[in-house]
Structure formats: C-alpha cells, structure tokens
Amino acid sequence: MFLQKEIMSATRKSLQIPVNKVNSLIRESNAILIGAGSGLSAAAGLLYTDFETFRQWFPGYYEKYGLRYLYEASFYNFPTPEEYYAFWAKHILTVRFDYPAGNPYKHLYNLVEDKHYFVLTTNVDGQFVKAGFNSQRLCTPQGDFGFFQCSAPCSNELYPNKVLLEKMVKGIDHSSMKIQSQDIPRCPRCGCLLKPNIREDSHFVEKPWMEKMLSLEAFINQHIKDSLLLLEIGAGYNTPSIIRFPFEEIALTNKNATLIRINQDNPGVDLPVKSSQFISIHMDAGKFLKELVAFS
C-alpha cells in the first residue's frame, strides 16, 4: 500500500508541469479549436474493440455470428435486412441515445465552456452535444448516428431516427435476432432503404455536414492572426487527413498557433512543427482531462 501511494504521488508530480502548462494555455487563449477522435470516446467507455463490452450489449451475437466486438460487427454482412436492422437499431440506440455523456467530455466542456471554441470530430456518437457543447460550434464530417439517410441516395435529406429505432428494437424477435419486416425503414421520397448517416461508402450524404466546414474555416481565419490553441484529443491514423494532419499543418504554417496533442498511442508529430508550438501528452485522454480539471 505504501509503495502504491508513492507511485501515485510520483505520477502526479510528473504530470504537474504539463498539466499546469496546458491549463495556462487554455486560460490565456483567445480561441480553442478542439479536434477529437475515437480515443476520446474510448476514454468515456464507448469501447468498440472490447469483447466483454460487446457481449454485454449484444448477447448471443458471438454465439450466432462469431462476432467479437462492436467495430467488427459494424462491418459484418448480415444475411438478411431484418438481421441487419436488428443490430443497427440496437447499436445506435445504445451508443447514440442511451449511453450518457462520459466524464472526459464533461471535463472538456468545463474547461472551455466560457471560451471561443469550435469542435471538429470524427466521432458520430453525439457525446459532445450530450456534454453541453453548442451544436452550432460542432462539425462532424463523418456523420451522426442520430440520423438516417436514403441508401440511394435520392436527396441530401437527413431523417432523425430515434422513434424508428425504438420501434425496431421493440419488435425484435430475440430467438432469430430479426426485426419485423414491416419495420424496415424506407425513404419517404423514393422507397429505398434508409441507412445510418455515417461515412462508409460513396453514397454517404455529406452536404449537411460539409456546410459546417465553412463555419470551421471562418473560425480559424478569424482567430489565427491573434492566437489559436489546437487541442487535439485521441485522433489517430484511422482518418488522419481530417484532424491530425490538418492540425499539424496549421501549427506548422502559423506562428500564432499552438498544438496540444493528447494521445495514448500516437503522441508524436509527422510534420516538423516547432517544439515551442507543440506539447505532447502521452497518456489516456480521460485521465489527463481529469487531471486538468483537478488542477484548474
């Protein structure tokens, strides 16, 4: 017990300098651009590659389909539409609507709520809105689980899906893991199947989200002349061209930008960003944000 306390004390002391430095930058910054990847949601408990979490949320799916975790199941070719929608209805209801705002998101909001901030995220789980972030300052170019789109697609229309999902889940036959055929969602315009509005193929309806990119660009242009803090959290190499590489490019080409990268697996930089403009935090995002709030 004594040794454990000594280790914890040493760890806290080793963190104190970066925590204090990051806190100072947040307090002093005129504007903060947050870039968040899957590492932030994983820190909040949304574990897409954890076997036990998957078996808890989707009992029987390992036994019937051999599926081991949520990420794998998200790309599985289910034999029938009824089975496909049974999985996706439960998936989206669990992750997007039933799962509460995670502490890392709430801690982050507490740190920036009174600041000029904008959020760019590849996460489609709605955690930012649940935690209190203004949806008008949120850009989600990969989509949002809270909406369906036409699978064709015949238009750029997005359809809120919670009511449809609840109806599908209520009608699931758990022995066959199928929804009722009459509950399969169809486009009100053309009759094609509706599907989750997430970027998975060339049929993704991106226009409503790409319009937010204009707001993002305006935010950057407005604040880059003074000072801009780039707070990147849990963004790896799955889609680095959305957050990771652009954030490095902004820091590389603008002397008034500072990049803070919080990443447990990939805390370094690929572009030659000046060390004076880059702070690397090599640890779990949830733990570091908790430390930030404690030291603030």
Question: Does 143 score more than 80 pLDDT?
Answer: yes
pLDDT at 296: 72
Query: In the structure, what pLDDT confidence band is assigned to residue 249 with cuts at 50, 70 and 90?
Result: very high
Determine phi and psi for 37, rounding to 5 degrees: -115, -165
165: which 2 tokens? 């999902």
> Between residues 283 and 15, which one has the greater pLDDT?
283
Query: What class, spelled out in words, does domain 29-44+102-141+206-295 have in CATH?
Result: alpha beta
Write out pLDDT tens, residues 21-58: 999 999 999 899 999 999 999 999 999 999 999 999 99
- To the nearest 10 degrees (0 to 180), the angle between helices 81-92 and 162-170 is 120
Domain extents for the chain? 29-44+102-141+206-295, 51-98+145-198
User: Cβ distance 235 to 122 under 8 Å?
Assistant: yes
Residue for token digits 């017990």? 1
**pLDDT tens profile 107-139:** 999 999 999 999 999 999 999 999 999 999 999
Q: How confident is the model at residue 215 (pLDDT cuts 50, 70, 90)?
A: very high
Tokens of 265: 């697996």
Q: Which residues of 189-223 are buried (b: 16+ CB within 10 A; e: fewer)?
A: eeeeebbbbbbeeeebbeebbeebeeebeebbeeb
pLDDT of residue 16: 63
Determine whether 225 is exposed, middle or buried from the number of CB atoms within 10 Å of its CB (0-12, 13-18, 19+): exposed
DSSP output for 110-150: HHHTTSEEEEEE---S-HHHHHT--GGGEE-TTEEEEEEEE
Q: How far is CA 195 from CA 84, 143, 185, in A?
A: 10, 12, 8
pLDDT band, residue 5 (cuts 50/70/90): very low
Q: What is the pTM of this model?
A: 0.92
Q: Using alpha carbons, select from 161, 158, 163, 111 the residue that is nearest to residue 132.
A: 111
pLDDT in tens, 16-27: 678 999 999 999
Residue 93 pLDDT more than 80? yes
pLDDT in tens, 153-190: 999 999 999 999 999 999 999 999 999 999 999 999 99
- CA proximity to 197, closest of 241, 154, 168, 159: 159
Same fold, 29-44+102-141+206-295 and 51-98+145-198: no
Class of domain 51-98+145-198: alpha beta
